[in-house]
Amino acid sequence: MSELKNDLLLRALKGEQVSRPPVWMMRQAGRYLPDYIKLREKYDFFTRVETPELACEITLQPVDQVGVDAAIIFSDILVIPQAMGMTVLMEEGKGPSLPNVVKTKADIDALITTGVEERLGYVMKALSLTKRELNNRVPLIGFAGAPWTLLCYMVEGKGSKTFDKAKQFCFTQPELAHSLLQKITDMTIAYLKAQVAAGADLVQVFDSWSGMLSPADFKLFAQPYLVQIADAVSEYAPVILFPKGSWYALGDLSKTTASGLGLDWSVTPSLAREMTNNSITLQGNFDPSKLLAPTKQIKKEVTEMIDAFGTQRYIANLGHGILPNIPVDHARAFVDAVKEYEGASVKA
Amino acid sequence: MSELKNDLLLRALKGEQVSRPPVWMMRQAGRYLPDYIKLREKYDFFTRVETPELACEITLQPVDQVGVDAAIIFSDILVIPQAMGMTVLMEEGKGPSLPNVVKTKADIDALITTGVEERLGYVMKALSLTKRELNNRVPLIGFAGAPWTLLCYMVEGKGSKTFDKAKQFCFTQPELAHSLLQKITDMTIAYLKAQVAAGADLVQVFDSWSGMLSPADFKLFAQPYLVQIADAVSEYAPVILFPKGSWYALGDLSKTTASGLGLDWSVTPSLAREMTNNSITLQGNFDPSKLLAPTKQIKKEVTEMIDAFGTQRYIANLGHGILPNIPVDHARAFVDAVKEYEGASVKA
């Protein structure tokens, strides 16, 4: 790890002194990048995900073209339900669908929970290849979906404004829900350990739908599984937890073995620091829609964001994935604004 | 007003002592009620909204059938963009669409901002008729969409996961955005005053999409207009503001002339009380999906919710609209649990 030329992200996660905050963007690989769109026209989604050379190429694009301080492997959180035996369809521009949802104990019993290293061998190959191609320029991030978020898709069968089928499953059959969450958790732990073994320098766990849960239900259906993953994986590599919408859980999660917490833009930096007692590295939380603003305004607001978070124990990022309609020079303006903050920091 | 047989809601909003908390449910009129579904099969959406007799009948259904402590007039927040001259289409089960969105200064200049009492005369007629039919059994609630939420639809043209077109409009052309927000605000104030004159005992302002905004942007694009509406209307009737997802604004909004604040389920009762310094009536915040749980569990969790909010300065409600797939007896279990809390309260 020490051979990394740019180790800002790892230093920030360890709480070590950094010259400026590291910066990367959730969903930075794909979507808005013209070179990605060209690949999308030639190869379908799962071909891009399952071909290590393509996943590697896509992963490197934002490092080369936007200048982020970390690469995050191009993949999808739904590869875990797939590896557990579920069918996952991905229609371009339509979002995922899982035609055979989990409904019963028999459905849960039928799920596969072993052999993730082989079943998702293409992810490990993509990581190894990317690690080599990166040539230690920046750290490589692995990732997985959080158990609650994966349950949402596995039970609901598709995206939803309310995920009420998934919630109904949890509220009416909590024992089944917990057995499903535990199976996903076990599989995810093995998956993330394998990602680290294959070359990931750190991992992030995306709980994209945790904010659908009340604070009490988050403690029942999301938090215990996030904690298990952090405990099991953080011996091997730093873990960032991103419970989108669950600002209420920041205090609890700051006391776990995770090294960092991702924030969406509904929470102010000062409140997030207060809730976490300034004891953990925070990551976020620029409103992704604000990358549609003029670049001058982006720079101004990024500077204000860093002023508010401080330069230490901080990773500049968006508050959720970058939107498909962001001009590349606006993404670059975001990254540059963080890099240029060095000067402001020296002035201060 | 004093002639109301059940004035629990108005007393709670005034901070007067009540024997138990009042209860109603957002979107209680419509959707999940079999008698509503029958009307939906006979009359299209705007016929139901624009025919005072139908709107009245739908408004009364949950009072008669579920036993709520207030009626809320059956209507839609998009009648204001319609009254301002925009085309609004409503396809059953698909959500609204506005084919000619607001893009330019000329589009804003072309919006109508007068004569709302006549343009939406059918709403006033429905209110008067319902007020008469209610025969003072329970108070009648009028409502409107908040300016930010209406801007979202008027600029985006339809529902959205991110409303990034609406946000782009605000971030790139803030002067235009503010002139649009002000026009909506002026129209809304006139509309709500007319609703009170026609028979509404109180009004609620729905800011369904305010939680999409960061705390700083909420202060720019949502809060000032909510405050204007509260200031202008609260001389005539109590105003409840419901800024969904904007828990961060509770402190600021508790200091306005509004009588009540609606909460979604992401905030705990204790934190909401703390943020509002226990100085304003709070309304909410049962997770609507939890009405899919067994009725025994609904009763248990409603009791816990009232325990946490307290019986005074509190209105039991959901944290957002009731879902279409809720069994009527589950809705009734929610309402009954609040009514039965009287006993628990005496015990305590």
B294 touches chain A (CB under 8 A): yes
- Give the CATH number of the domain where residue A171 resides: 3.20.20.210
Q: Who among A216, A247, A289 is closest to B162 (CB)?
A: A289
- Strand, helix or coil for residue B334: helix
Secondary structure, 3-state, A235-276:
CCCCEEEEECCCHHHHHHHHCCCCCEEECCCCCCHHHHHHHC
Distance CA A246, CA B288 (A): 18
Per-residue pLDDT reduced to its tens digit, B246-301: 999 999 999 999 999 999 999 999 999 999 999 999 999 999 999 999 999 999 99
**Tell me, what amino acid is at A257?**
T
Catalytic residue among B35, B40, B217, B231: B40
C-alpha span between B23 and B335 (Å, rounded): 6
Q: How far is B102 from A142, CA to CA, in rounded Å? A: 42
| Residue among A203, A200, A210 nearest A229 (CA) | A203
- Is pLDDT above 60 for B234? yes
Residue A210 pLDDT exceeds 60: yes
The confidence score (pLDDT) of residue A346 equals 44
Q: How confident is the model at residue A156 (pLDDT cuts 50, 70, 90)?
A: very high
- Asked if the model's pLDDT at residue A2 lies above 90, the reply is no
pLDDT band at A261 (very low <50, low <70, confident <90, very high): very high
- Taking residues B163-179, what's their average pLDDT? 98
Q: How many residues does chain B have?
A: 348
| Burial (CB count <10 Å: 0-12, 13-18, 19+), residue A91 | exposed
Average pLDDT, chain A: 96
CB B88, CB B78: distance < 8 Å = yes
- pLDDT beyond 70 at A315: yes
With pLDDT > 90 as the criterion, what percentage of chain A qualifies?
Answer: 95
pLDDT of A1 > 50? The answer is: no
Distance from CA of A201 to the nearest CA of B (A): 31
A171 lies within 8 A of chain B by CB: yes
**B297/A171 CB distance under 8 A:** yes
Contact B266 A245 (CB under 8 A): yes
Q: Which domain holds residue B201?
A: 8-347
Helix or strand or coil: residue A205? strand
In chain A, the residue whose alpha carbon lies closest to the alpha carbon of B270 is A215
In a domain, A3, yes or no: no
pLDDT tens, residue by residue, B100-112:
999 999 999 999 9
Contact list in B for residue A246 (CB cut-off 8 A) is 266
Alpha helices in chain B (DSSP H): 8-14, 34-42, 45-50, 52-65, 79-83, 105-109, 116-119, 121-134, 147-156, 164-172, 174-198, 215-221, 223-233, 250-254, 269-275, 295-309, 328-347
Give how many domains chain A has, as a whole number.
1
Residue-level pLDDT at A200: 98
Q: Taking CB atoms and an 8 Å cutoff, what residues of chain B touch A325?
A: 164
B289–chain A nearest CA distance, Å: 5
Residue A137 pLDDT greater than 50, yes or no: yes
Could you tell me whether strands A71-72 and B95-97 are parallel, antiparallel, or unpaired per DSSP bridges? unpaired
List the single residue in B214, B289, B293 with the smallest CB-CB distance to A265: B214
Burial track B327-344 (b if 16+ CB lie within 10 A, e otherwise): eeebbbbbbbbbbebeee
Closest-CA residue of chain B to A218: B266
Tokens matching residue A107: 């459905």
Largest CA distance in chain A: 63
The pLDDT score that the predictor gives to residue B91 is: 86
Task: Among B167, B215, B325, select the one facing A268 at the smallest CB separation.
Answer: B215
Closest CA to A23 of A347, A298, A216: A298
Query: For residue A162, what is the nearest residue in chain B, using CA coordinates?
Result: B289
Which residue in chain A has the smallest CA separation from B304?
A216
Q: Structure tokens of A56?
A: 């590697």
Instruction: Say what the pLDDT of residue A92 is.
Output: 78
Asked whether residue B346 carries a pLDDT value surpassing 60, the answer given is no
The predicted-structure confidence for B83-104, as pLDDT tens digits, reads as follows 999 999 998 778 999 999 999 9
Q: Is residue A265 within 8 angstroms of chain B, CB to CB?
A: yes
The band of B150, judged by pLDDT with boundaries at 50, 70 and 90, is very high
With an 8 Å Cβ cutoff, is B54 touching chain A?
no
- Window 122-151 of A: residues touching B by CB (8 A cutoff) are none
Q: Which residues of B touch A213 (CB under 8 A)?
A: 287
Distances in Å between the alpha carbon of B342 and those of A39, B335, B346? Answer: 64, 12, 6
Catalytic residues of A: 27, 31, 40, 76, 153
Residue A2 lies in a domain: no
B214 vs A163, A168, A287: nearest CB = A287
The residue written with tokens 């995900």 in the block is A49
Residue A345 scores a pLDDT above 50: no
Tokens in use for B240? 């409840």
Active site residue B76: yes
Residues of B in contact with A294 (CB under 8 A): 172
- Closest partner CB to B266 (pick from A167, A248, A290): A248
A267 and B CB contact within 8 Å: yes
Q: Do A214 and B325 touch (CB under 8 A)?
A: no
| Rounded distance between C-alpha atoms, residue A29 and residue A2, angstroms | 25
Strand partners, B207: B243
B137 noted as active-site residue = no
**Rounded Cα gap, residues B145 and A138, in angstroms:** 48
Put simply, the answer to whether B171 touches A290 (Cβ < 8 Å) is yes
Amino acid B134 reads L
A158 DSSP β-pair partners: A97
Give the integer Cα–Cα distance in Å for A18 and A1: 16
Selecting from B211, B248, B323 the residue whose C-beta is nearest the C-beta of A268 gives B248
Note whether B270 contacts A: Cβ–Cβ < 8 A: no
Give CA–CA dist B68/B339, Å, rounded: 9
Q: Using the predicted structure, report yes or no on whether residue B348 has a pLDDT greater than 50.
A: no
| Position A139 in a domain | yes
Q: Is residue A330 predicted with pLDDT exceeding 60?
A: yes
Structure tokens at A37: 């769109």
Which of A36, A84, A38 lies closest to A59, judged by CA?
Answer: A36
Whether B168 is in a domain gets the answer yes
* Pairing state between β B89-91 and B71-72: unpaired
pLDDT of B347 higher than 90:
no
The pLDDT value recorded for residue B94 is 85
pLDDT for position A347: 43
CA distance A122 to A105: 30
Q: Which amino acid is at B169?
A: F
Q: Under DSSP, is residue B51 helix (H, G, I), strand (E, B) or coil?
A: coil
Task: Indicate whether A1 belongs to any domain.
Answer: no
pLDDT score at B287: 98
Whether residue B267 and residue A290 make contact (CB cut-off 8 A), yes or no, is no
Averaged over B168-180, what is the pLDDT?
A: 98
Cis peptide upstream of residue A285 (ω within 30 degrees of 0): yes
Q: Calculate what percentage of chain A has a pLDDT beyond 70.
A: 98
